[in-house]
Each structure stands twice: as structure tokens, then as C-alpha cells.
């Protein structure tokens, strides 16, 4: 039967299954266990390096084998207890995770569909409000454009009114000038008539005086000519003067008549233009008044629309304020749940790493115990 102090080959190590290590004696095993005890608080190093370093240790007395095995059993028992404890904690954590997931899926938990439904309704209302606001803004823009058009028309009408007023003033001046010319012409006609009357009277007076002189004259003139007659000569001269006076009077009357006709035609044209200007001015004033009424109506409509828009914004702002608070609360709660889940996942990962390390150590110790048992059997 081989000696207890002979070397044995075993498999183990924290690096996983398949790591090979050599132990020359039980003293070397004790040194390995001591090194493992010192490394409990730190990450587990590969066991192959520790067991290789123990090959140089001196042989120990057979009396220490039982103590070594006892310590090894105690340490293994402690590791097994730790493994059971970690498994229980892992089961508790898994149960908590399952409870959380069950609450999410269970009917008595939070129903995200019911939460999403009012959110969808709110989104729809917000969309409708946005469309209404867009329509109101479009109406306001159209009203502003119409108002600008009315203002432009009003400006054009004001310019046309000023031009008409200017034309009316010019027509008034023309009428005044025509009246002055008419009065002046009438005065000239009166003067000419007076002059004609004076000339006729002078001519009549001269003829009467000449007749009186001829009548009073005692001079007798003998004329050899049988056909000569002073009365005929005077009558001939008188006829010539009358004919000339009538001709001049007729020409004067014709000229003044033509002048009066021209003045009357011009006056009628001016009066007609004045009446047309007055009518057009009245129409322009009436259209201006209509445009002013339309502008006032448009301004009133704009003010009403702006007031309606302001009230609508305030009303929907008040409605959306609590809903925004609810949304923020739900987002915060969702963020907290995600953080808890991530933290739980990280904890599970850490526990899984610890479990794998413990399984590796247990496997290592099982290999050591198996090697020691085989050595004792030999």
C-alpha cells in the first residue's frame, strides 16, 4: 500500500473544470487550504498556481491528516451553507421578479392599456385643438388679408375722392370764371346797347336838327337839273344811314347772340359736369361709408376670433395641465421600474458570478477530497 506522504494527482481550481494541479503531501494541501482561506475576501485565483507552489513544502506528520480533513470538511460545510444561502436568496429574488412580472400581466396590476387609452384620447384632442387653432389662424390671416385689401381700396377711394374734390374745385373755379365772363359780357352788351341807343338818338337829333334848319332856311337854291330834289337826297342819306345802322345793329346782335349761345352751351356743359361730379362724389362717399362699415365689421370679427383663440388656448391649457402631470408621473414611475429591473438584473448577474465561483471551488475541493481518499486507499 503506498505511503500517505506519496504524491497524488488531482483536478480542480477556481479557473473551472479541467485545471490540473499537483500536491506532494498533506502538508502541501494544508498550505493550499491556508492560502484559500486568506483569499476568501478577494477574487479566486487559479488553483493550479497555488497547488504547484505547495509541492516544495516539507512532509508533515501523519497526526495532522485528521485535523486537515476536519478543517477541510468544516470549510466545505461552510461553503455548502453559503451556497444554500445564496440559492435561497436567488430564489427569493427570482420570486420577487416573478411577482413583479405577474403584477404587470395580472388584471389587478396596472393596466397599461387603460393608461394608454386616455393618453390616445388626449393626443386626439390635442390634434383636434391644433387643427382648430390652425383653422382659426388661417381665418385670421384671411381676415387680415381682406382687411388689408379693404384698406388699400379705402386708400384708393380716398385718392379718387381727393381727385374728384380737386376736379369739383376746378369746376367751381370754371363756373365762377364763367359767371364773371358772363357778367362782364352782359356789361359789355349793356354798354354796346347804350352806345347804339346814344348813336341812334344823336343821329335822330342830328336829322331833326337838319330838317329844322332846312325848314327854317329861307335860302332858295335853284337847280338847273329837273330831277334834283333836296328832300330825295336827304331821304337817300337817311336811308343809307338807317341801313348802315340796322346792319351794324344786326351784326352786333348776331355777334352777341352767338357769344351768348356759346356761353350758354359752355355753362350747360359746366353745369352738367358739376352735376356729374356731385353724383360721382356722392357715390364715392357712399362707397367709402360702406367700406368703413365693412372694415369695422372685419376688425370686430378679428377681435372676436383673437379673443376666442385666447380663451380656447387658456381652456385647453387648463385641461392639459393635470394630464401633463399624470404623464410626467407615469414616466417617472416607468423610469423607476426600469431602474429597479436593471438593478435586479445586475444583482442577479453578480449572484450568478458568485455561484459559478462557489461551484468551481466546490468542484476543486471535491477533486481534492477524491485525491486524498484515493491516496488513503492506496
Write the pLDDT tens digit of every residue in 133-176.
888 888 888 888 888 888 888 888 888 878 878 887 887 887 78
Q: Verify that 202 and 162 share a domain, yes or no.
A: yes
Q: Verify that 98 and 144 share a domain, yes or no.
A: no
Q: Verify that 129 and 243 share a domain, yes or no.
A: yes
Percent of the chain scoring above 90 in pLDDT = 0
Instruction: Taking residues 297-308, report their average pLDDT.
Output: 86
227 pLDDT above the threshold of 60: no
340 found inside a domain: yes
The H or E element containing residue 10 is: strand 8-11
Instruction: Please tell me the distance from the alpha carbon of residue 304 to that of residue 275, in angstroms, as a whole number.
Output: 43
Instruction: Please tell me the distance from the alpha carbon of residue 309 to that of residue 304, in angstroms, as a whole number.
Output: 9
Residue indicated by cell numbers 334848319: 213
Classified as helix, coil or strand, 200 is helix
pLDDT number for residue 134 = 82
Q: Verify that 199 and 65 share a domain, yes or no.
A: no
Q: Verify that 291 and 159 share a domain, yes or no.
A: yes
Q: Verify that 187 and 48 share a domain, yes or no.
A: no
Q: How confident is the model at residue 105 (pLDDT cuts 50, 70, 90)?
A: low
351 found inside a domain: no
Q: Verify that 179 and 203 share a domain, yes or no.
A: yes
Residue in 339, 334, 345 with CA at minimum distance from that of residue 97: 345
Is the Cβ–Cβ distance between 295 and 151 less than 8 Å?
yes
Query: What does the mean pLDDT of the chain come to?
Result: 73
Backbone angles phi, psi at 8, to 5 degrees: -135, 155
Is the Cβ–Cβ distance between 47 and 70 less than 8 Å?
no
Q: Verify that 187 and 67 share a domain, yes or no.
A: no
55 found inside a domain: yes
Q: State how many domains the chain has.
A: 2
The H or E element containing residue 164 is: helix 112-216
The beta-carbon contacts of 71-74 under 8 Å, at least 24 apart in sequence, are 71/30, 71/33, 72/29, 72/33, 72/365, 72/368, 72/369
266 found inside a domain: yes
Instruction: Please tell me the distance from the alpha carbon of residue 82 to that of residue 113, in angstroms, as a whole number.
Output: 44
Task: List C-alpha distances in Å: 263 to 15, 32, 169, 180, 204.
Answer: 133, 145, 20, 11, 34
Is the Cβ–Cβ distance between 351 and 90 less than 8 Å?
yes
Which residues fall within 8 angstroms of residue 72, CB to CB, at 6 or more apart? Answer: 29, 33, 365, 368, 369
Classified as helix, coil or strand, 128 is helix
Instruction: Taking residues 314-318, report their average pLDDT.
Output: 84
Q: Verify that 145 and 261 share a domain, yes or no.
A: yes
Pairing mode, if any, of strands 8-11 and 20-23?
antiparallel
Q: How confident is the model at residue 8 (pLDDT cuts 50, 70, 90)?
A: very low
Give the model confidence (pLDDT) of 36-81 as tens digits.
444 443 433 343 334 334 343 434 444 577 787 777 778 888 878 8
Q: How confident is the model at residue 25 (pLDDT cuts 50, 70, 90)?
A: very low
2 pLDDT above the threshold of 70: no
pLDDT number for residue 378 = 65
Residue indicated by cell numbers 356722392: 282
Which residues fall within 8 angstroms of residue 317, CB to CB, at 6 or more apart? Answer: none
220 found inside a domain: no
Question: Bigger pLDDT: 307 or 200?
Answer: 307
Q: Verify that 211 and 329 share a domain, yes or no.
A: yes
Q: Verify that 28 and 147 share a domain, yes or no.
A: no
Q: Verify that 165 and 24 share a domain, yes or no.
A: no
Task: List C-alpha distances in Å: 45 to 15, 145, 356.
Answer: 7, 84, 14
pTM beyond cutoff 0.85:
no
pLDDT number for residue 265 = 85
350 found inside a domain: no
Give the model confidence (pLDDT) of 326-363 as tens digits.
888 888 888 888 888 888 889 888 888 888 888 888 88
Is the Cβ–Cβ distance between 136 and 305 less than 8 Å?
yes
pLDDT number for residue 214 = 66
111 pLDDT above the threshold of 50: yes
258 pLDDT above the threshold of 80: yes
Q: Which domain holds residue 49?
A: 8-109+360-377
Instruction: Please tell me the distance from the alpha carbon of residue 178 to that of residue 162, in angstroms, as a whole number.
Output: 24
44 found inside a domain: yes
203 found inside a domain: yes
pLDDT number for residue 216 = 66
Is the Cβ–Cβ distance between 270 and 171 less than 8 Å?
yes
263 pLDDT above the threshold of 60: yes
Amino acid at each position: 500500500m503506498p505511503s500517505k506522504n506519496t504524491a497524488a494527482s488531482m483536478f480542480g481550481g477556481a479557473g473551472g473544470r479541467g485545471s490540473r494541479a499537483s500536491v506532494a503531501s498533506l502538508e502541501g494541501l494544508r498550505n493550499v487550504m491556508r492560502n484559500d482561506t486568506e483569499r476568501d475576501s478577494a477574487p479566486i485565483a487559479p488553483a493550479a498556481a497555488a497547488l504547484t507552489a505547495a509541492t516544495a513544502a516539507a512532509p508533515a506528520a501523519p497526526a495532522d491528516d485528521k485535523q486537515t480533513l476536519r478543517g477541510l470538511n468544516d470549510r466545505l460545510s461552510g461553503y455548502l451553507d453559503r451556497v444554500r444561502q445564496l440559492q435561497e436568496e436567488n430564489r427569493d429574488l427570482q420570486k420577487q421578479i416573478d411577482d413583479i412580472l405577474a403584477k404587470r400581466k395580472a388584471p389587478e396590476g396596472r393596466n397599461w392599456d387603460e393608461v394608454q387609452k386616455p393618453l390616445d384620447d388626449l393626443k386626439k384632442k390635442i390634434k383636434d385643438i391644433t387643427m382648430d387653432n390652425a383653422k382659426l389662424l388661417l381665418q385670421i390671416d384671411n381676415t387680415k388679408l381682406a382687411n388689408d385689401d379693404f384698406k388699400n381700396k379705402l386708400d384708393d377711394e380716398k385718392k379718387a375722392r381727393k381727385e374728384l374734390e380737386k376736379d369739383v374745385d376746378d369746376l367751381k373755379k370754371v363756373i365762377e370764371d364763367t359767371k364773371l365772363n358772363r357778367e362782364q359780357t352782359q356789361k359789355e352788351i349793356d354798354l354796346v346797347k347804350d352806345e347804339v341807343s346814344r348813336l341812334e338818338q344823336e343821329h335822330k337829333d342830328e336829322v331833326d336838327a337838319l330838317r329844322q334848319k332846312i325848314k327854317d332856311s329861307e335860302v332858295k337854291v335853284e337847280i338847273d337839273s329837273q330831277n334834283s330834289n333836296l328832300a330825295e337826297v336827304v331821304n337817300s342819306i337817311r336811308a343809307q344811314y338807317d341801313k348802315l345802322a340796322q346792319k351794324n345793329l344786326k351784326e352786333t346782335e348776331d355777334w352777341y347772340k352767338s357769344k351768348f349761345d356759346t356761353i350758354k352751351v359752355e355753362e350747360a356743359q359746366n353745369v352738367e359736369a358739376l352735376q356729374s361730379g356731385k353724383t360721382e362724389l356722392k357715390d364715392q362717399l357712399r362707397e367709402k361709408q360702406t367700406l368703413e362699415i365693412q372694415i369695422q365689421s372685419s376688425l370686430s370679427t378679428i377681435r372676436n376670433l383673437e379673443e376666442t383663440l385666447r380663451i380656447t388656448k387658456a381652456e385647453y391649457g387648463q385641461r392639459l395641465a393635470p394630464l401633463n402631470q399624470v404623464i410626467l408621473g407615469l414616466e417617472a414611475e416607468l423610469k423607476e421600474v426600469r431602474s429597479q429591473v436593471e438593478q435586479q438584473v445586475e444583482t442577479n448577474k453578480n449572484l450568478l458570478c458568485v455561484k459559478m465561483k462557489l461551484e468551481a471551488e466546490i468542484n476543486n475541493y471535491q477533486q481534492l477530497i477524491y485525491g486524498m481518499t484515493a491516496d488513503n486507499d492506496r
